[in-house]
Amino acid sequence: MFLGLFFSLMYILFIRKFSVSLSAASFLVVKCMMLISQGSSSFEMSGLVWFDFLSSSMVCLTVYISCLMLIESCSMARKMEMKLILTVLCGVLVGTFSWTNLFFFFFFFEKVLIPVLFLILIWGYQPERLQAGSYMILYTSLGSYPFLFAISIMVSGGMSDMMQSLSSFLNREFCFFFWFYMLGFLIKLPMFPFHLWLPKAHVEAPVVGSMILAGVLLKLGGYGMLRYLNLVLMKMCSFSYSTLLAIGLVGGFLTSVMCMRQVDLKSLIAYSSVGHMSLVILGILSDKMVGFLGAVLMMLGHGLCSSGLFLLVNLFYKQSGSRSVLYNKGSLMLTPSLALFCFMLSAGNMAAPPSLNFAGEALLFMSSSVLSSWLLVVVGLMSFMSACYSLFFYGVCCHGKSSKIRDSGIYMSSMLNLFFHWFPLNFLFLFL
């Protein structure tokens, strides 16, 4: 099934007409939603490949976002080269979410950076894209090398390099290696204060780069923590547990407050991603099945909603020629359909029902109330700030007196792309 999805994606790469690619993407939309909704807790092992609800959900999200990116890339320069890079990136991400061998996982985990770096350097908007690419490579690579070192130490000690071997590594020595495993995942997530590379990469990347960064790449950290570390959380030392949880939640609240001070729309959405991913950390470290499910739903909902918001910001940029909040006003009078999608995606970003973000946040509230009443207060404040900056984003872009507007260049394909972001975000809620 997943190979069929991937080969269908490659078929879209080499076809010429947009109508055919849109039909094929619509087929993949329905197929991905069926796979996610039919996920179960049973495992299916085939050699080194592991597919369960977590893996299948991330693979379907990857293929789905890649289809929407290919549709959007039809209106960009050098589109055939971009389609090739996007297809390679999709294949690498599918491999990352499928392998159980730790060394293969690390190989695909780091290989993802190469296509994203090409997207930033070739199709980036501003001269600072070289600095943004350097930040991304330095942060993510330096954080992943301790993970490789910990894997090598584990294998040199006579253990297997399969994920299942971590269950036999449960001893007090793991408290020392815990940060080696965690650092690469926390930077990819990203967690405060390792998030500084993300706003720079988002601001300099093209729209398809921002879509894949927010939609899929940020899920690599959460997937790694759920897949490789939920087996060892019960044996983890209490200092590591409490410190990581406190830093994650306080940092998520601070980045949510920073969203209210942003003047660049892309930076606002990028900082909101850091706040949402800190809730994913809470669900993973809760060591409860409710928290794990809430983290997965939050990652799926954020992947769809945040990718749609970056596409929406790009459409605002086509209208005004700027991403500043000062030049993007009055969209409700100029393009009411765009304002409608802005409202619906902003409602999903603030976890309003019936979105996947609402389901994930409700489950995370439940898991935080079990751990501590103080955590419930912090999560409540983060949810309140999420509503504040989402309403701020909608109010700034859609209301007020419009400034000088250029030719919009907004086509029906962009509106359908926004709809394909919003529809599964709310439709999958019915299968819960």
Among 103-112, 114-123, 235-244, the minimum mean pLDDT is found in 235-244
Check whether 402 has a pLDDT greater than 80.
no
Check whether 232 has a pLDDT greater than 60.
no
pLDDT of 141 reads 81
pLDDT of 47 reads 54
In a domain, 11, yes or no: yes
In a domain, 152, yes or no: no
Among 79-83, 143-147, 239-243, the minimum mean pLDDT is found in 239-243
Asked whether residue 137 falls in the same domain as residue 218, the answer is yes
Asked whether residue 117 falls in the same domain as residue 225, the answer is yes
In a domain, 169, yes or no: no
In a domain, 7, yes or no: yes
pLDDT of 236 reads 54
Asked whether residue 190 falls in the same domain as residue 339, the answer is no
Asked whether residue 23 falls in the same domain as residue 82, the answer is yes
Distance CA 413, CA 376 (A): 42
pLDDT tens digits along 336-390: 888 899 999 999 999 888 899 999 999 998 888 888 788 888 888 999 999 999 9
More confident call, 28 vs 396: 396
Q: Which domain holds residue 21?
A: 1-38+47-147+178-232
Per-residue pLDDT, averaged over 8-22, amounts to 42
Check whether 233 has a pLDDT greater than 60.
no
Nearest of 129, 108, 107, 109 to residue 118 by alpha carbon: 129
Per-residue pLDDT, averaged over 69-85, amounts to 80
Per-residue pLDDT, averaged over 218-233, amounts to 76
Q: Which residues contact 172 (CB under 8 A, 6 or more apart)?
A: 237
User: Under a CB-based contact definition with an 8 Å cutoff, are residues 305 and 349 in contact?
Assistant: yes
Asked whether residue 312 falls in the same domain as residue 340, the answer is yes
Asked whether residue 222 falls in the same domain as residue 244, the answer is no
pLDDT of 84 reads 87
pLDDT tens digits along 273-282: 888 888 888 8
Which two three-digit tokens encode residue 115?
A: 């296509």
Averaging pLDDT over each range in 189-198, 238-247, 318-327, 412-421, which range is the top one? 412-421
Distance CA 161, CA 187 (A): 23
**Average pLDDT across the chain, whole number:** 78
pLDDT band at 167 (very low <50, low <70, confident <90, very high): low
Asked whether residue 321 falls in the same domain as residue 383, the answer is yes
Distance CA 383, CA 193 (A): 20
In a domain, 416, yes or no: yes
Per-residue pLDDT, averaged over 144-162, amounts to 76
Number of separate domains in the chain: 2
Asked whether residue 210 falls in the same domain as residue 353, the answer is no
In a domain, 370, yes or no: yes
pLDDT of 344 reads 93
pLDDT of 409 reads 59
pLDDT band at 149 (very low <50, low <70, confident <90, very high): confident
Beta bridge partners of 51: 44
Among residues 232, 248, 272, the one where a domain terminates is 232
In a domain, 395, yes or no: yes
Check whether 50 has a pLDDT greater than 90.
no
pLDDT of 14 reads 40
pLDDT of 175 reads 58
Among residues 196, 216, 232, the one where a domain terminates is 232
Check whether 96 has a pLDDT greater than 70.
yes
For residue 206, say if its preceding peptide bond is cis, omega within 30 degrees of 0: no
Q: Which residues contact 20 (CB under 8 A, 6 or more apart)?
A: none
Give CA torsion, residues 87, 88, 89, 92, to 10 deg: 130
Check whether 20 has a pLDDT greater than 70.
no
Check whether 413 has a pLDDT greater than 90.
no
pLDDT band at 403 (very low <50, low <70, confident <90, very high): low
Check whether 40 has a pLDDT greater than 50.
no
Asked whether residue 359 falls in the same domain as residue 395, the answer is yes
Asked whether residue 189 falls in the same domain as residue 132, the answer is yes
Asked whether residue 221 falls in the same domain as residue 323, the answer is no
More confident call, 10 vs 430: 430
In a domain, 156, yes or no: no
**Proportion of the chain above pLDDT 90, given as a percent:** 15
Among residues 232, 255, 276, the one where a domain terminates is 232
Asked whether residue 194 falls in the same domain as residue 248, the answer is no
pTM: 0.86
Check whether 407 has a pLDDT greater than 90.
no
Check whether 91 has a pLDDT greater than 60.
yes
Distance CA 367, CA 365 (A): 6
